[in-house]
Structure formats: C-alpha cells, structure tokens
C-alpha cells in the first residue's frame, strides 16, 4: 500500500500554521505547479492534484481538526480507524459521510441512488481589471466522463445489460447492526450503485466512466475577491452506472496590480507628488479601475499621506447594485538630485521661512515640544 504524504508537508507549512499561512502557501504552490504552466509535465500535474487535495482539507476548520486527530483515515477507506472504528465500512467517504449514512434517514435522505461522483478542484488566476468587470475563463481539468462506448451504462449491451441489484433492490444501501445502532452502508454487491452490470464494457471495464481531459468555461462574476471558490454543479467526475456527476470547484486568485490596491469594494491608488506641487497646489489626472480617467485637484499645502475620496469609483459589490470608492493617497517626494541653482533657491527659501509656524506647523510644534522636554528634564 502506497504511503500517503502528510498534507502539511504537501503545502510546505507546519502543523501550527495559521489559516492565512496555509492559504498563502497554497496559492504559491498552485500557481507553480498548475498544468497550464507546466504543459506535458505529468509530475507537476500530480503535484497540483496533491496540493488541491491537501488544501481542501486544511482550509476547513472541522476537516483540519479531524485530520489532525485521525490523519488520512478520517477521509478515506482502509480498515479500522483510531479506537478500532471501521471507516472502511462506511464507503471511505470520511467523517461527513459517516454521519450522513448514520443519520441520513432522519434528515429525509431515504432510499435513492448512491452519492454523486467525486468533486474536482481547479485554479484560475485573473487580473484586477478582470475581477472588476467579470470575465469568462477556460479551465482545463483531467476528470472522468461517461464512457462513449456504453453511454455510461458500463455494459456492452447498453441499458439492457444492467439489472437491479438483488441484494439492495436498487437502493444502493443495506442496513447493518453496529453496536446499539442500526446504520446504513453502501451495498457490497453493487458498491452503492443500486445496479449490477452484465457483459461489462471493454472500454471502461464496467465502470461507466473513462479518464479524459476537458476544457470548461467558467463565468467569473464582477466584483469577485481573491480566494473566492466558485462551484459548478455537475461538472465534476461522472459517477458511472447512472450515478450523478460530482461538482467542480474553481479557486480564483487575483494577481497584484502595478497601480491599484484593493480592500473589499474600495480601491486605493498611491500618487507621488513633487514637493513644489504639494506646496503650491495642482491638478493631476489619475486612472480609474474601469479604464477611464479623472482629474483630482490637490490644494496648496497638501501633506504627505493625505487621502482624496472618489465616490463610486471602486468595485461592484457582489449581488448588489452598490459600488465602493476609490482613494487617492498622496506622498510628497523630496528631490534627491539638485542643481546648484535649485540648491540656492531652497537655501533661500529655508532662510526666509525660518521658525515661522505658518510655514511648517508640525515641524515647528514638534521641536518646540522637544525643547520643552529637555528644559523640563534639567
């Protein structure tokens, strides 16, 4: 039996790592090993699947707690888990499936076919402009699809070659005594499918599914934030033998921008001003995230760190008509290289200004407090 790698080792974090540290490491590794960046590299593709599998567990507090306590046994089949509990008897679906199968009847999940095919994960990176406007991206995934040879039935004879399971009578489940409990488990004869295949298909060997690469169009809504997970129902692995397909979960990451920074629905833009512009006042043209431009008046005497608010120039709020704001943050840049004449003018200006509080109130006030501090100490 192959040894399974530790999820923390896969994501290259410690077991005490915070949720933010895990997320940051996941994004870095997912981008590095993404199949689109490593075409034809089977090793990178396998690594990408491991990374997504590990992150799917560790990003969820309850799943992570179960993994920390029980390890891989909490989510997979393979015999008795901690304390002698047989996880394998519940179909290997993990703790969530254990409770679903134990209490499914109470929650109204009676009878029917087995659970859907496996869910799959994918990652897509978009620009900040695409996050603002919304975009459609093609995502390439390797998954299992319905076998074309048998139309997903698993039999060379088609639907005629599939019979209702004689053990569970099509329910896909059988009842069994577990101590004081009566629990439901997947039928051992049909493995939860509710049907038995005769004359198995040679292409899929009776499973009803085959592995195939697919390209799926994913619509990413305007206003999406970094780290958003989009669910596409039924776009996961085909279940085979009539079992519905699983879901596709697309993890969205937004690339950093060279001009804008985002905080929720608000957008920030840092604009450097020359010293004379800040002192005399000016009007500057700045870009807006929607691709337009706007003019901002900078009053005379503007200080470094001042903010100017542009209402409604930020991101759209998901599922709302509201929009955030854009903030222009001013930084005053000090000249680094001066000509002889420029130096003379600045020296003249400094001599003229002197200690006049009207010219530099913060500077003058601070050094007056410093002087009072030393005089008080003496």
Q: What is the pLDDT along the chain (378 residues), one digit of tens a residue?
A: 455 788 998 999 998 888 888 988 998 898 888 887 888 888 888 888 889 888 988 988 888 888 888 777 776 544 334 443 344 333 334 444 444 444 443 333 334 444 577 889 999 999 999 999 999 999 999 888 888 888 887 888 777 778 888 888 777 788 776 666 677 777 887 767 777 887 888 888 887 888 888 999 999 999 999 989 999 998 988 876 667 888 999 999 999 999 999 999 999 999 999 999 999 999 999 999 999 999 999 999 999 999 999 999 999 887 777 889 999 999 999 998 999 999 999 999 888 877 665 667 777 778 788 888 888 776
CATH number of 259-334: 2.60.260.20
Tokens of 274: 């020359």
Three-state helix/strand/coil letters over 199-251: CECCCCCCCCEEEEEEEEEEEECCCCCCCCEEEECCCCCCCECCECCCCEEEE
Topology alike, domains 114-256 and 259-334: yes
Q: Return binding residues.
A: 147, 150, 165, 168, 187, 190, 201, 204
Alpha carbon distance 94, 111 (integer Å): 20
Q: Which of 39, 35, 30 is nearest to 12 (CA)?
A: 30
Three-class SS of residue 38?
Answer: coil
Q: Which of 139, 291, 131, 128 is nearest to 221 (CA)?
A: 131
Q: Return binding residues for Zn(2+).
A: 147, 150, 165, 168, 187, 190, 201, 204
Q: What is the pTM of this model?
A: 0.57
Tokens of 368: 């007056």
Domain ranges of the chain: 114-256, 259-334, 340-378
Three-class SS of residue 122?
Answer: strand
Class of domain 114-256: mainly beta
């Amino acid at each position: 039996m192959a040894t399974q790698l530790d999820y923390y080792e896969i994501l290259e974090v410690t077991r005490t790592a915070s949720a933010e540290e895990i997320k940051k490491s996941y994004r870095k590794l997912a981008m590095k090993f993404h199949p689109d960046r490593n075409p034809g590299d089977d090793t990178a593709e396998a690594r990408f699947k491991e990374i997504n599998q590990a992150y799917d567990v560790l990003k969820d507090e309850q799943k992570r707690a179960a993994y920390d306590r029980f390890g891989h046994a909490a989510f997979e089949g393979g015999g008795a888990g901690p304390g002698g509990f047989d996880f394998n008897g519940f179909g290997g679906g993990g703790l969530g499936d254990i409770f679903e199968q134990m209490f499914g009847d109470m929650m109204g999940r009676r009878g029917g076919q087995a659970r859907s095919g496996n869910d799959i994960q994918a990652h897509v990176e978009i620009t900040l402009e695409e996050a603002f406007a919304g975009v459609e991206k093609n995502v390439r995934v390797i998954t299992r699809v319905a076998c074309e040879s048998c139309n997903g039935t698993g039999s060379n004879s088609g639907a005629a070659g599939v019979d209702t399971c004689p053990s569970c009578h099509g329910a896909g489940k059988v009842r069994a005594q577990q101590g004081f409990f009566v629990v439901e488990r997947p039928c051992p004869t049909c493995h939860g499918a509710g049907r038995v295949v005769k004359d198995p298909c040679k292409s899929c060997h009776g499973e009803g599914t085959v592995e195939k690469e697919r390209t799926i169009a994913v619509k990413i809504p305007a206003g999406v934030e970094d780290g958003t997970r989009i669910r596409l129902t039924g776009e996961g692995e085909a279940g085979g033998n009539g079992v519905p397909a699983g879901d596709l979960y697309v993890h969205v990451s937004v690339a950093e921008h060279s001009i804008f920074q985002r905080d929720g629905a608000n957008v920030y833009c840092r604009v450097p001003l020359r010293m004379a512009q800040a002192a005399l006042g000016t009007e500057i043209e700045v870009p807006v995230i929607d691709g337009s431009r706007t003019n901002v008046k900078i009053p005379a005497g503007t200080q470094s760190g001042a903010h100017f608010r542009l209402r409604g120039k930020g991101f759209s709020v998901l599922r709302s008509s509201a929009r955030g704001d854009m903030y222009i943050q001013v930084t005053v840049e000090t000249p680094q290289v001066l000509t002889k004449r420029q130096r003379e003018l600045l020296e003249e200006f400094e001599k003229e200004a002197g200690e006049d509080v009207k010219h530099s109130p913060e500077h003058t006030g601070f050094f007056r407090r410093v002087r009072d501090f030393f005089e008080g100490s003496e």
